[in-house]
Amino acid sequence: MAQGKRPLSPHLQVYRWGAAMAVSILHRATGSALAVGTIILTWWLVAMATGHEYFNMVQECLGSPVGRLVLFGITIALMQHLASGIRHLFMDAGKLYDLKANTGSAKFTFVFTIVMTLVIWVAAYKVMGRL
């Protein structure tokens, strides 16, 4: 049989969406997004070492509406990746495998992400005295 003509197992589109599936896919997606976050952090550290003028320019970029949106997205990605990563560690230890605990913990990661992202941003705005 030719390479490209072998029957393949069905891909994502045939499955009904569930919390566990969403968390699993999001873990990869947020992980990739955090690679961008790491690059931004590096840019920011290089700017700090370069001097105050360049640092201020980077701060202005990151503080602009677009910059804030990106940082907000990275916060969501970080919290989701953190929560679902910890869930993975439990699963590595053999826990959370019965259906109820598995779905429940998957849904909990979403609650964690939303709550923590809001807490972080409200706290940051409070520290800046803008709230």
Partner 1 sequence: MADFKTPLAKVRGLGSAKDGTHHWWLQRVTAVANIPLVIFMVVSFVGNAGKDHAAWVAWLKQPLVSVIVILFIANTVYHMRLGLQVLVEDYVHGGTKVASMLAISFTCVLIASLAIFSVLRIAFGG
Interaction site with partner 1 (CB under 8 A): 28, 31-32, 34-35, 38-39, 41-42, 45-46, 48-49, 51-52, 55-56, 78, 82, 85-86, 88-89, 92, 120, 123-125, 127-130
- Secondary structure string (H, E, C) spanning 53-97: HHHHHHHHHHHCHHHHHHHHHHHHHHHHHHHHHHHHHHHHCCCCC
Q: Measured from the CB of residue 53, what is the shortest distance to partner 1 in angstroms?
A: 9
Q: Measured from the CB of residue 113, what is the shortest distance to partner 1 in angstroms?
A: 13
Q: Which is nearer to partner 1, 54 or 111 (CB)?
A: 54
**CA dihedral sign of residues 98, 100, 106, 108:** negative
Q: Measured from the CB of residue 120, what is the shortest distance to partner 1 in angstroms?
A: 6
Q: Measured from the CB of residue 87, what is the shortest distance to partner 1 in angstroms?
A: 11
Q: Which is nearer to partner 1, 46 or 66 (CB)?
A: 46
Q: Which is nearer to partner 1, 6 or 100 (CB)?
A: 6
Asked whether 121 and 72 are in contact (CB, 8 A), the reply is yes
**CA dihedral sign of residues 58, 60, 62, 64:** negative
Asked whether 67 and 61 are in contact (CB, 8 A), the reply is yes
